[in-house]
């Protein structure tokens, strides 16, 4: 119950922080674009200098970062570990791009706008990194599962529940339903002809493998007797 509660809280916080960071990134990108465009019109006679062109490019990058953060946050909300990884990577990228942006256009804006952009970049970086960490921690078992299933011969452990007891059984991706059921029957000391094996509420066929079921480390099977 505690683990489930942590996952839910981490998922929600990761999603909220990711969306908030996306909003900041998009806002900052638009402001940089507006300030640089005004500079090009007012002082560069519509002939962008190298620094202005780079600043516009970085602004576009910030807009892309914002939309990617939205995608990563939606992945976190849908319980995908890839959302956490994406937001974490974006947070680190934002640190680099924001430093470049502020170095290039810092002298061409008012102190109020300059301070606002600095705060926006800091919030975007910190928020997306935190979002990524929360999303990754909440759903890190997906990595364990994918790693376990990457090789059919790699062993991992599942739980088999029967008569109020839990048994930890070591299996592999090529373990069949019949083999797991037989092992569970031996642990419970019951005839294998009078039991059924369930996974995620559905009966497990004898010929199906655990890889085909999508089972991984720590998954639970239920042995129904009688």
The DSSP element (H or E) to which 119 belongs, if any, is helix 111-138
Domain boundaries, the chain: 2-139, 146-225
What average pLDDT does range 11-20 have in this prediction?
90
What pLDDT was estimated at residue 210? Answer: 85
Residue that has been written with the tokens 């430093």 in this structure: 99
pTM surpassing 0.75?
no
> What 3-state DSSP class applies to 209?
strand
**pLDDT tens digits, 117-133:** 788 888 888 999 999 88
86 vs 182: CA distance, rounded Å = 42
Q: At what angle do helices 111-138 and 2-43 cross, to 10 degrees?
A: 150
Q: Please, which pLDDT band fits residue 1 given cuts at 50, 70 and 90?
A: very low
**pLDDT tens digits, 139-184:** 666 555 555 455 455 788 888 888 888 888 888 888 888 898 888 8
What pLDDT was estimated at residue 35? Answer: 84
Q: Distance between the two ends of the chain, CA-based, in angstroms? A: 29
Q: Is 50 exceeded by the pLDDT of residue 42?
A: yes
198 vs 185: CA distance, rounded Å = 13
What pLDDT was estimated at residue 18? Answer: 92
The DSSP element (H or E) to which 179 belongs, if any, is helix 177-188
φ, ψ dihedrals at 220, nearest 5°: -115, 130
Query: Has domain 146-225 been given CATH number 3.40.50.1820?
Result: no
Contacts of residue 150, defined as CB under 8 A and 6 or more positions apart, other chains included, come to none
Q: Please, which pLDDT band fits residue 193 given cuts at 50, 70 and 90?
A: confident
Distance, CA of 129 to chain centre: 11
């Amino acid at each position: 119950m505690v683990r489930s509660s942590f996952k839910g809280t981490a998922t929600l916080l990761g999603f909220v922080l990711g969306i908030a960071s996306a909003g900041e990134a998009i806002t900052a990108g638009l402001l940089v674009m507006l300030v640089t465009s005004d500079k090009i019109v007012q002082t560069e006679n519509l002939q962008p200098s190298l620094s202005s062109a780079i600043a516009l490019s970085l602004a576009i990058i910030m807009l892309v970062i914002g939309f990617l953060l939205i995608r990563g946050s939606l992945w976190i909300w849908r319980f995908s570990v890839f959302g956490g990884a994406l937001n974490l990577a974006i947070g680190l990228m934002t640190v680099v791009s924001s430093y470049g942006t502020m170095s290039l256009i810092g002298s061409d804006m008012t102190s109020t706008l300059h301070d606002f952009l600095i705060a926006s970049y800091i919030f975007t970086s910190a928020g997306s990194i935190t979002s990524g960490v929360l999303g990754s921690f909440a759903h890190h078992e997906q990595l364990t599962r994918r790693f376990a299933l990457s090789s059919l011969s790699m062993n991992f452990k599942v739980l088999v529940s029967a008569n109020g007891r839990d048994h930890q059984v070591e299996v592999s991706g090529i373990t069949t339903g019949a083999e797991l059921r037989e092992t569970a029957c031996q642990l419970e000391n019951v005839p294998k002809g009078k039991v059924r094996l369930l996974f995620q509420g559905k009966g497990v066929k004898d010929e199906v493998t655990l890889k085909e079921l999508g089972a991984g480390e720590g998954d639970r099977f239920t042995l129904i007797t009688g």
